[in-house]
């Protein structure tokens, strides 16, 4: 199985705890014989890619340097994420099975790749804009929520880390119960749950790609 993970943070770039979580996830996937690629962002660690513990890491830099805020920064970075992901797709002879999008930032890229190649994606929710902004509804927050909404609609599966988050996702985005899978990091079943979800998404969407 070939999996591409999108995440806006990956060591050495750490914004929160997601960076180290994704590093551990990628390492465990490699141990379980999954070909794993990570597409992430870094301002100067470039070069085409780096192999670390069997994981192929693609770091992209924002093509537009002057930004109004994090939202415009994210939206131009998405095209670079698409470029890196497309390179992986063509270099592996189109053998990518799915994309695992960690949090909302690279949802636009994942949706475009889905429309272009029939590649399914999983939306792994770390947090929601409603929690981060304490329910604020400025135009900025609403725009980010619209991207989260897009992810909820287009994802093959939504993965959350707690029962509480499952209820929050259902409450805010009205997704059906069976779309959301709770996988608790640190639990003994963690990586086998992840693998099971990957396999079920990849198997369930084979017909779209062909």
Partner 1 sequence: MDKELTVMMLTWEFPPRVVGGISTHVYNLSRSLAKNGVKVYVVTCDFPGAPQHEVVDRVEVFRTDSSKSPSPDFVTWVYLMNMNMQMEAAMLVKRLDGRVDIFHAHDWLVANAGIGLKHVFRKPLIATFHSTQVGRNGAQYMNERTIHETEYWLTYEAWRVICCSNYMVSHARWAFGLPEDKLVMIPNGVNVQEYAECKNAGLSRFRERFALPEEKIVLFVGRLVYEKGVHVLVKALPKILEGVNVKIVIVGNGYMEEKLLNLVKEMGLAHKVIFTGFVDNETLRNLHRCADVCVVPSLFEPFGIVALEAMAAESPLVISDTGGLSEIAEHDITGVKVYPDNPDSLAWGITRVLLDEDYANQLKNNAYKKVQENHDWDKISQRTKDVYETVLEEYYKSFWT
Among residues 135, 146, 145, 187, the alpha carbon closest in space to that of 163 is found at: 187
Angle, nearest 10°, between helix axes 139-154 and 163-173? 110
- The count of residues interacting with partner 1 (CB under 8 A) is 34
Least Å distance between CB 83 and partner 1? 4
Asked whether the beta carbons of 13 and 23 are under 8 A apart, the reply is: no
Angle, nearest 10°, between helix axes 107-117 and 139-154? 30
21 vs 104, which CB is nearer to partner 1? 104
Least Å distance between CB 67 and partner 1? 6
Least Å distance between CB 128 and partner 1? 17
112 vs 205, which CB is nearer to partner 1? 112
Angle, nearest 10°, between helix axes 139-154 and 70-91? 20
Question: For the purposes of burial, counting CB atoms within 10 Å of the CB of 90, is it exposed (0-12), middle (13-18) or buried (19 or more)?
Answer: exposed
- Which pairs count as long-range contacts for 138-145, CB under 8 Å and 24+ apart, including other chains? 140/69, 140/71, 143/71, 144/71, 144/104
171 vs 209, which CB is nearer to partner 1? 209
Q: In sequence order, what are the residues at sequence separation of 6 or more whose Cβ sits closer than 8 angstroms to the Cβ of residue 44?
A: 61
44 vs 66, which CB is nearer to partner 1? 66
Least Å distance between CB 21 and partner 1? 26
46 vs 64, which CB is nearer to partner 1? 64
Which parts of 53-92 interact with partner 1 (CB under 8 A)? 63-69, 71-72, 75-76, 78-79, 82-83, 86-87, 90
Least Å distance between CB 195 and partner 1? 28
CA–CA gap between residue 184 and residue 73 (Å, rounded): 30
Which parts of 127-156 interact with partner 1 (CB under 8 A)? 138-140, 142-143, 146-147
Which parts of 5-44 interact with partner 1 (CB under 8 A)? none
Q: Which residues bind partner 1 (CB under 8 A)?
A: 63-69, 71-72, 75-76, 78-79, 82-83, 86-87, 90, 108-109, 111-113, 115-118, 138-140, 142-143, 146-147
């Amino acid at each position: 199985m070939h999996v591409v993970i999108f995440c806006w943070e990956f060591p050495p770039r750490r914004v929160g705890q997601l960076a180290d979580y994704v590093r551990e996830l990628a390492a465990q996937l490699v141990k379980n014989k999954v070909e794993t690629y990570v597409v992430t962002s870094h301002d100067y660690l470039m070069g085409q890619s780096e192999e670390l513990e069997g994981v192929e890491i693609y770091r992209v830099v924002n093509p537009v340097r002057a930004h109004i805020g994090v939202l415009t920064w994210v939206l131009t970075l998405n095209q670079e994420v698409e470029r890196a992901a497309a390179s992986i797709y063509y270099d592996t002879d189109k053998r990518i099975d799915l994309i695992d999008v960690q949090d909302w930032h690279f949802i636009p890229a994942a949706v475009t790749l889905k429309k272009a190649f029939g590649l399914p994606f999983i939306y792994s929710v770390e947090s929601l804009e409603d929690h981060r902004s304490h329910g604020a509804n400025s135009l900025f927050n609403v725009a980010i929520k619209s991207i989260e909404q897009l992810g909820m609609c287009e994802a093959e599966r939504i993965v959350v880390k707690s029962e509480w988050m499952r209820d929050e996702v259902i409450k805010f985005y009205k997704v059906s119960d069976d779309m959301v899978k709770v996988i608790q990091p640190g639990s003994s079943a963690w990586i086998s749950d992840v693998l099971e979800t990957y396999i079920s998404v990849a198997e369930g969407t084979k017909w779209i790609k062909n």
